[in-house]
């Protein structure tokens, strides 16, 4: 076992015996790279190429694992690095083999024109407390399946981290090849629904509605694509497994019709879920060991990581993208918030009816300086009432809201207030009312409708 730490480190080689892994934590400002010198090794299911250096992204915590033995070389500074032979990898790969057999059975059933249910591959949901290795296990199961030619669908319900697009979203995307060690989950074809907050307790009903929308859309896609249907889904979930969090997990199992529940590292949760679904014999609830290598991340780290995920959306993981700055008039866009939770006033209701909060109500919001530094989603919706069921085309980040910059250009002058001071000002100036934002691509926004959020990112 070898340890390391912060200061300059010379390139060093590790000879790994079969089924051993080298665990490395990369510093926030990296850089660190790895090279396979001999044998074969993989990072969370994706093989290291036989030649050349592979950069390991800053802040990442990885395990370089070998099935048959390998020598690897590290170059750069790390926060820590050590080897271990205590890994649950054999159990994980056996789980993959069972899922794979189910995929093959589903494909065969589809070829024989059997009943629709038989042609459905495994719908796997991975659950467990925070830092139990859920996202990592999902990556491995997806990459191993893709390596064998399947195109499983990755569904990410973890709005706290957002591994497909940004936090605050629930998303799904087909995985066509092992997940790239540097670029992560491919961004080309995600199906994304915007919740807008990193915590489902802010509006659990909206979270449930969005899960339902996503599940229905995937069902439609599967009905026309027997290969995707046979490959099935791997669903990642939040680490919140108590109270409302547990209720939402049950809801997710039901909504996505999961038939395999993999429970990581918590006996109590496994028992609770097993009891909860005992009347459904088609659901297998399986307990798996958590890897000792999983790194614990405190709330401050998670908050920082959320900001980095937002930054990466606009600037790229390697900081190699250049977002485009744009300006729109307030009158060119309409911003909505989903689910204010406000109750309709009694006066607006029929006599005797009690006001009930509508958690999925759409509320138009005024553009204000409070929006600076927040993320707004751009849905494909053309009408406001389509917003909740619409997936999003992308996101913009508000960099400035200009409400009161005066100009002496007197066109389009509108003043609601008729007091002497305003009337005087109105005769000289008009308010510009412009919103400035960055977007990943140049050009006009694909929709005039925007969805507000509580997600913020402060450009350094």
Binding site for ligand ATP (CB under 6 A): 23, 61-63, 128, 130-136, 158, 161, 239, 291, 293-295
β-partners of residue 46 are: 43
- We find the least distance from the C-beta atom of residue 431 to ligand ATP, in angstroms, to be 44
Tokens for 220, please give them: 């439609």
- We find the least distance from the C-beta atom of residue 66 to ligand ATP, in angstroms, to be 13
Query: Any binding-site annotation on 135?
Result: yes
CA–CA dist 123, 81 (Å, integer): 35
Q: Residue of minimal CB distance from ligand ATP? A: 293
Query: Any binding-site annotation on 61?
Result: yes
Nearer to ligand ATP, 163 or 390 (CB): 163
Query: Any binding-site annotation on 131?
Result: yes
Please tell me whether residue 416 adopts helix, strand or coil conformation. Answer: coil
Nearer to ligand ATP, 77 or 372 (CB): 77
- We find the least distance from the C-beta atom of residue 295 to ligand ATP, in angstroms, to be 4
Nearer to ligand ATP, 198 or 379 (CB): 198
| DSSP run (H or E) holding 94 | helix 89-111
Tokens for 460, please give them: 């350094």
Annotate 166-189 with b (16+ C-beta within 10 A) or e (fewer): bbbbbbbbbbeebbebeeebbeee
Nearer to ligand ATP, 78 or 374 (CB): 78
Query: Any binding-site annotation on 136?
Result: yes
Query: Any binding-site annotation on 25?
Result: no
Tell me which residue of 192, 166, 159, 188 sits closest to 175, measured CA to CA: 188
180 alpha-carbon distance from chain centroid: 16
Tokens for 69, please give them: 């033995």
CA–CA dist 383, 387 (Å, integer): 7
Go through the chain and tell me how many residues it has.
460
Nearer to ligand ATP, 129 or 379 (CB): 129
Nearer to ligand ATP, 43 or 376 (CB): 43
- We find the least distance from the C-beta atom of residue 183 to ligand ATP, in angstroms, to be 15
346 alpha-carbon distance from chain centroid: 39
- We find the least distance from the C-beta atom of residue 170 to ligand ATP, in angstroms, to be 14
CA 414 to each of CA 406, 410, 426, 429: distance values in angstroms, whole numbers, following the listed order? 13, 10, 8, 10
- We find the least distance from the C-beta atom of residue 82 to ligand ATP, in angstroms, to be 10
Binding site residue list? 21, 61, 131-136
């Amino acid at each position: 076992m070898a340890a390391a730490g912060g200061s300059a480190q010379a390139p060093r080689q590790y000879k790994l015996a079969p089924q051993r892994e080298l665990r490395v934590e990369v510093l926030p400002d990296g850089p660190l790279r790895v090279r396979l010198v001999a044998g074969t090794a993989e990072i969370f299911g994706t093989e290291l190429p036989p030649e050349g250096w592979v950069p390991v992204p800053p802040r990442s915590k990885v395990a370089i694992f070998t099935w048959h033995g390998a020598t690897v070389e590290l170059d750069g500074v790390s926060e820590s690095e050590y080897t271990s032979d205590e890994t649950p990898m054999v159990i994980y790969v056996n789980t993959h083999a069972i899922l794979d057999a189910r995929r093959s059975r589903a494909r065969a059933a589809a070829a024989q024109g059997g009943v629709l249910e038989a042609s459905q591959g495994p719908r796997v949901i991975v659950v467990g407390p925070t830092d139990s290795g859920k996202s990592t296990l999902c990556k491995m199961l997806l990459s191993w399946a893709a390596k064998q030619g399947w195109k499983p669908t990755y569904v990410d319900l973890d709005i706290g981290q957002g591994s497909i697009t940004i936090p605050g979203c629930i998303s799904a995307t087909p995985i066509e090849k092992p997940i790239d060690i540097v670029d992560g989950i491919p961004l080309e074809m995600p199906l994304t629904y915007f919740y807008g907050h990193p915590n489902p307790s802010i509006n659990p009903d909206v979270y449930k509605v969005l899960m339902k929308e996503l599940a229905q859309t995937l069902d439609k896609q599967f009905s026309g694509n027997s290969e995707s249907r046979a490959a099935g889904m791997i669903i990642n979930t939040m680490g919140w497994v108590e109270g409302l969090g547990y209720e939402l997990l049950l809801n997710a199992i039901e909504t996505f019709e999961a038939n395999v529940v993999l429970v990581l590292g918590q006996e109590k949760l496994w028992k609770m879920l097993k009891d909860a679904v005992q009347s459904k014999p088609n659901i297998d609830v399986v307990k798996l060991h958590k890897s000792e290598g999983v790194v614990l991340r405190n709330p401050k780290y998670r908050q920082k990581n959320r900001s980095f995920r937002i930054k990466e959306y606009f600037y790229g993981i390697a900081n190699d993208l250049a977002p485009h700055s744009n300006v729109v008039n307030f009158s060119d866009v309409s911003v909505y918030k989903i689910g204010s939770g406000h109750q309709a006033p009694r006066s607006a209701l029929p006599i005797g009816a009690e006001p009930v909060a509508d958690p999925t109500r759409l509320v138009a919001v005024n553009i204000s300086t409070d929006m600076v530094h927040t993320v707004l989603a751009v849905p494909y919706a053309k009408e406001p009432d389509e917003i909740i069921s619409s997936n999003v085309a992308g996101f913009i980040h508000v960099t400035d809201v200009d409400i009161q910059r005066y100009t002496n250009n007197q066109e389009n002058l509108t003043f609601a207030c008729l007091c002497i001071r305003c009337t005087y000002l109105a005769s000289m100036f008009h308010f510009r009312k412009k919103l400035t934002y960055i977007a990943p691509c140049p050009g006009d926004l694909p929709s005039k409708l925007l969805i507000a959020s509580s997600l913020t990112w402060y450009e350094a």
